[in-house]
Structure 1
Amino acid sequence: MRLAQWASGLRHTDLPDRINAYATSQLISHLAVVRAGMAHPLGQRLVKAFGSPTDDRPDQAAYVLAALSACLYYEDSMYVGHVWHSSLGAAELDATVREVLGA
């Protein structure tokens, strides 16, 4: 619990440059995976079934982003699992890179 509280309070400026660079790279990679998923027939079927990730409903868009990022299985796995599918989709909807990374 203490670790989660500490981590949730971190801001972009609190992190070393190498960590900021890695986090930015991961975010860009995640966006590329979503874009690739949307261009693929499977991704197009997901969007047709569940709606666009740019719809006005952030909760629905987050689900679609998660599905699109997983449908081609191009993402990274960390020691705790697949963190980007569930944690970044909603944050990407209406935010800058610095906002997503906790600036």
Structure 2
Amino acid sequence: MRIAPLFLASTCMLTWASHAEAQEVRRQVRVADLQLRAVATMDTVAQDLAALDASNSRIVESAQGLAAMYAELSAGIAELATLAERMAGEASD
């Protein structure tokens, strides 16, 4: 008869230990899941930043191209203005 209470007590202790271990395993799984989600999010952010950097590079290249075209256009307008002044001077002579 003394064995039954001892057996019951040891079973309860094992059950409690198993419950605590199961809770710890669930906690570790939740932590691992959160870590994986964080890594996935950081990977997505890194990809988005790389795409943004590439886009910014294209914008800078376009702006440089536009600046070069503007410089050529300005030079052409200055040349036309000089030609117009010369033609106006020749017409007045």
TM-score past 0.5 threshold: no
Q: Calculate the TM-score normalised by the size of structure 2.
A: 0.29
Higher relative contact order (CA 8 A, sep 6+): 1
Bigger Rg, which one: 2
Q: Calculate the TM-score normalised by the size of structure 1.
A: 0.26
